[in-house]
Structure 1
């Protein structure tokens, strides 16, 4: 599935580049609101939550029948989220870049917003900042070492914080090679698709103390949240557990209390 998504992203981004010039995005960036510190928000309390918005997932389909991105953002804000992760993908997750901009620029939303997509091209980084995003997510393993460095450095240059997503020791090594300040560890095994917190613990031990560690994927309750807290993570990226709740704000509040 990951390979299919990445292949599609390359095609989709090429089409967007044909429709929107870099100079257009640069002019939008000049008018974009000032960034909010995603990194500082993640360390504002002992363990924080990056709450994720998406309409569906490739494996589970529609996650919330009454999904409204802005309503969801307000619920997360009310529930105590430290930051928001907003999918910029329409084909697989039912959102789109415009949703990122909608939430990032809503006067009633005060949290940092992360543009989350399968980033394969610098164009997406410019787009994220032009939309008003405060951070982006980069998946190490879908990029060559050189392309990863180029995209990471561009994001920093544009004033964006970067959550670098890793799956194994090699990914972490590459993340540290660019002095990444925020490193996510995916709890889900790519081969079995099962959540393995023992494996997560092994990978977390490789992170320097100054790095903000983020636990990603598969956190489905208070017990899992306590586990990542005990391991030493400063934040957790959580989507489906909150999206599928009857009351997302209450679900989030009870998780972090």
Structure 2
């Protein structure tokens, strides 16, 4: 059984718990924060945009920063010019929570991504109730029909959807459902090995300039990596571990905001 298989099995149990719980209070028009579009922010940028992640732990690296204050971290990200804050809400493997998401959403005005392994509409409901403006759907975790249904469900609620792929075949599946925000996870979710060449592979067949933006996820360790994926056509990067371990988070974010050119902004 792969790590992804283990996570998805745990998610099935989580869905059973969520469906048995009372629904959280729905947001009112007074509590819903109007946030910028992440797609627009990336599409119109002249510099590589940063989706800055709050990540206490991971299955591959263990504990990264278990005692992080998510609100303080998110405020640092926003101050440094991040385009979006990504919040891990998975507890067993990443030590995150919907409470973290809610606290961050109340603290910042930029887009907020619920980063989880979503397999059921109730997770999207919980993300929206907690204040997320973007949710993640992972192509490798979903059959075509469920991927499409969850995408339609999320967008009907007014959420943006980051659709994550790992290779050219998964890119085709993402494009077939109409995904605009497409992320390439450089980490193989079955082995957790990281290779930035995954971004370059997908970028080689990516439909730049036709209503889609490319985001490189995982494995961005510094400005050289940022320049590499930007040169391939990425308009943004999702960065977690590097920021969670950084002694100067704002400086690290600014070092990743390299100039864009070529395919990403055509």
* TM-score using structure 2 length: 0.89
Calculate the aligned-residue CA RMSD, in Å: 1.8
Identify which of 6, 9, 12 aligns with 2:11: 9
**How many Å separate the matches in 2 of 1:251 and 1:142?**
31
CA distance, structure 2, for counterparts of residue 77 and residue 34 of structure 1: 15
Aligned residues of 2:56 and 2:94 also touching (Cα < 8 A): yes
- Stretches of structure 2 that go unaligned for 5 or more consecutive residues are 259-266
Matching residue of 1:156: 155
- Greater shift, 8-17 or 192-201, is seen at 192-201
Q: Which runs of 4 or more aligned residues in structure 1 lie more than 4 Å from their structure 2 counterparts after TM superposition?
A: 29-32
Give 1:146-185 correspondences, 5 Å limit. 146-185=145-184
Deviations 1:60-103 (A, max 9, x none): 22212541101111111122211110011111111101111111
Number of paired residues? 252
Q: Give 5+ residue unaligned stretches, structure 1.
A: none
SS in structure 2 opposite 1:105? helix
Q: Distance in 1 between matches of 2:243 and 2:76?
A: 10
Partner of 1:221: 222
Q: Is the 8 A contact 1:77 1:111 kept in 2?
A: yes
- In the other structure, the counterpart of 1:197 is 196
8 Å Cα contact 1:47-1:234 kept in structure 2: yes
Q: What pairs with 1:11-26 in structure 2 (closer than 5 Å)? A: 11-21=13-23
* CA displacement, residues 163-201 of structure 1 (integer Å, 9 cap, x when unaligned): 000012221111001110010011124565433333321
Give runs of aligned pairs for residues 86-125 of structure 1, distance below 5 A.
86-106=87-107, 109-125=108-124
**What's the counterpart of residue 40 of structure 1?**
40
Q: 49-58 or 185-194, which moves further after superposition? A: 185-194
Task: Name the SS for the 1:185 alignment partner.
Answer: strand
Q: Does 1:239 align with 2:240?
A: yes
